[in-house]
Amino acid sequence: MTDDTTLDRRRFVQATTAAGATLLLAGCSGGGGDGGDGSDGSDGGDSSDGSDGSDGGSGGDGGDTQYLAEEPDYGGWFDGANNYEQTVDATGQDEVTVDVGAGDGLAFGPAAVAVSPGTTVVWEWTGQGGGHNVAAESGDFESETVQEEGHTFEYTFEEPGTYEYVCTPHSSVGMKGAVVVQ
Ligand SMILES: [Cu+2]
C-alpha cells in the first residue's frame, strides 16, 4: 500500500504552494501599478465665450485624479467659473489641499472637490493672480485677502452638504469653488 505516502506528499506540496503564494502576494502589494502621471492642467482659463455648462464628453485622462462618478448638481454655481470641469473625489482623506491662484491665477484648483465629514481642507496660495481670499457663501468661513505665496487657510468640514465659496475680489471673473461633503 502506498496510499499513505502519496497523501503525505500531496499535503506537503499543498502547504508549500500556499506559503509560496502568500509570499508572492506580500511581495506584490507594495508597488501596485499607478498609471502614467496625468498632465497637470495647464489650461489657461478664461475663454470669453459664454459656454453654458453642457460640455460634451470629456475624454478620459489617464492621470491619478479621481472624479466623482456622479457629478453633483450645483444649480448653476459654476456657470462661467474658472478651472471647473468635474468634481475631484478626495473622499476618505483627513486633509485635502486646494490651490488659491491655480491655472491663470484667477482660479481654485481643484475648483470642486468632494471630501468626507471631518476632513480639513487647506487652501494654499500660489502667489499668482494678485490678492485672493476664500469666502463661503454661507458665511461659515472667510479668510483674509492676501497675495503671499505659501499662505494657507484651513477649515474642517463636519456636516454633509455643498459649500460654495468665492474669492471676493475675483468672484465676478469666475474665481469660484465648492466643497462637497458626503
Ligand atoms: Cu482671487
For residue 127, give the nearest of 143, 103, 147, 111 by alpha carbon: 147
What average pLDDT score do residues 106-133 get?
98
User: Hey, what domains does the chain have and what are their CATH numbers?
Assistant: 88-181 (2.60.40.420)
Q: How far is the CA of 143 from the centre of ligand 1 (A)?
A: 12
The answer to whether 170 is a known ligand-binding residue is yes
Provide the sign of the torsion angle of the four alpha carbons 60, 52, 108, 118, taken in this order: negative
Q: How far is the CA of 170 from the centre of ligand 1 (A)?
A: 4
pLDDT category at 44 given cuts 50, 70, 90 is very low
Q: What is the pLDDT of residue 112?
A: 98
What average pLDDT score do residues 88-96 get?
98
Number of neighbours of residue 106 by Cβ within 10 angstroms: 21
Q: How far is the CA of 32 from the centre of ligand 1 (A)?
A: 39
Q: What is the pLDDT of residue 143?
A: 98
What average pLDDT score do residues 6-28 get?
40
Q: In the predicted model, is pLDDT for residue 134 greater than 80?
A: yes
Q: What is the mean pLDDT of the chain?
A: 78
What average pLDDT score do residues 136-157 get?
98
Answer for the pair 68, 41: CB distance below 8 angstroms, yes or no. no
Q: What is the pLDDT of residue 64?
A: 83
pLDDT tens-digit map of 56-91: 444 444 568 999 999 999 999 999 999 999 999 999
Lowest mean pLDDT: which of 30-39, 62-71, 98-107, 149-158? 30-39
The answer to whether 1 is a known ligand-binding residue is no
Q: Residue 170 carries which DSSP code?
A: G
Kindly provide the b/e burial profile for residues 19-43, where b requires at least 16 CB atoms within 10 angstroms of the residue's own CB: eeeeeeeeeeeeeeeeeeeeeebee
Q: What is the pLDDT of residue 70?
A: 96
Ion ligand 1: residues, CB < 5 A: 132, 167, 170, 175
Cell of 128: 499668482
Q: What is the pLDDT of residue 63?
A: 63
